[in-house]
């Protein structure tokens, strides 16, 4: 234990943690400095049918309620946070973000993250929303089904595809784990822009009887 503390002190000395927004040196357990964390664009929404995310999704699929913690705009600090989580091996930021959500989820039957395709998971090494989703489940004492959904299609890059092709590619991109019992589940996504990926997952559930879906995302455009 003592050796670990000494090693960590050296690491902090030579490679101090920096605020992912303003680059100020911060405590190793943080990801934003105090100043930047007060500037986060919180939605202050509730998990209900009275917000932009719900209205976006209900036009495309059958969803019960929806919530997003943050607003997403191109180049705002939300984008930096999501980038760190996804590409810079900081999925642990999701724990802190999940702990900021003060909504009672204890009546739901479980939490299901939008999964990565097996190939992408191997490449990246982790699902960027794994910790976020798992912490929400833990905080509310409900099951976490990390494999409730399985991604069956591997799209090497969606960026170069036009919108029509992207939607076509996403058709049947997911399968539901046959072991999942009917119930009301919360699907977790990191950022919702068009909602195409998420909607393709929700539609899988919509095609079955006795499944209800609500949605929680870290950020919503
Ligand atoms: Zn800062």
Within this chain, do residues 19 and 74 fall inside the same structural domain, yes or no?
A: no
Within this chain, do residues 123 and 155 fall inside the same structural domain, yes or no?
A: yes
Within this chain, do residues 72 and 35 fall inside the same structural domain, yes or no?
A: no
Instruction: Tell me the pLDDT of the chain (221 aa) as tens digits.
Output: 566 666 656 655 667 788 988 989 998 878 999 999 899 999 999 999 999 999 999 999 999 999 999 999 888 899 999 999 999 999 999 999 999 999 999 999 999 999 999 999 999 999 999 999 999 999 999 999 999 999 988 765 555 566 666 666 677 789 999 999 999 999 999 999 999 989 999 999 999 989 999 999 999 99
CA of 22 to the centre of ligand 1 (A): 4
Within this chain, do residues 35 and 45 fall inside the same structural domain, yes or no?
A: no
Query: In this structure, are residues 183 and 211 in contact, taking their beta carbons and an 8 Å threshold?
Result: yes
Within this chain, do residues 213 and 175 fall inside the same structural domain, yes or no?
A: yes
CA of 13 to the centre of ligand 1 (A): 19
Strand blocks (E) in the chain: 66-71, 110-113, 149-151, 174-176, 183-192, 211-220
Number of domains in the chain: 2
Coil, strand, or helix at residue 217? strand
CA of 69 to the centre of ligand 1 (A): 19
CA of 77 to the centre of ligand 1 (A): 10
Which residues span the domain enclosing 15?
1-39
CA dihedral sign, ordered 42, 71, 73, 92: positive
Which residues are found with C-beta within 5 Å of the ion, ligand 1?
Answer: 19, 21-22, 24, 33, 36
């Amino acid at each position: 234990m003592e050796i670990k503390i000494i090693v960590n002190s050296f690491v902090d000395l030579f490679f101090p943690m920096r605020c992912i927004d303003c680059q100020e040196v911060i405590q190793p357990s943080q990801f934003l400095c105090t100043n930047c964390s007060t500037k986060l664009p919180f939605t202050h929404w509730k998990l209900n049918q009275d917000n932009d995310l719900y209205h976006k999704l209900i036009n495309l699929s059958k969803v019960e309620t929806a919530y997003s913690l943050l607003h997403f705009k191109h180049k705002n600090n939300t984008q930096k946070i999501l980038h760190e989580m996804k590409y810079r091996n900081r999925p642990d930021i999701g724990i802190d973000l999940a702990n900021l959500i003060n909504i009672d989820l204890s009546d739901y039957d479980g939490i299901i993250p939008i999964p990565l395709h097996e190939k992408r998971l191997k490449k990246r090494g982790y699902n960027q929303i794994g910790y976020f989703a798992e912490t929400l489940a833990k905080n509310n004492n409900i099951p976490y089904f990390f494999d409730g959904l399985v991604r069956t299609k591997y799209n090497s890059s969606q960026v170069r595809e036009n919108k029509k092709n992207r939607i076509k590619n996403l058709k049947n991109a997911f399968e539901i784990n046959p072991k999942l019992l009917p119930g009301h589940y919360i699907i977790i996504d990191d950022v919702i822009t068009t909602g195409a990926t998420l909607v393709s997952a929700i539609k899988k559930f919509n095609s079955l009887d006795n499944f209800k879906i609500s949605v929680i995302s870290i950020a919503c455009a």
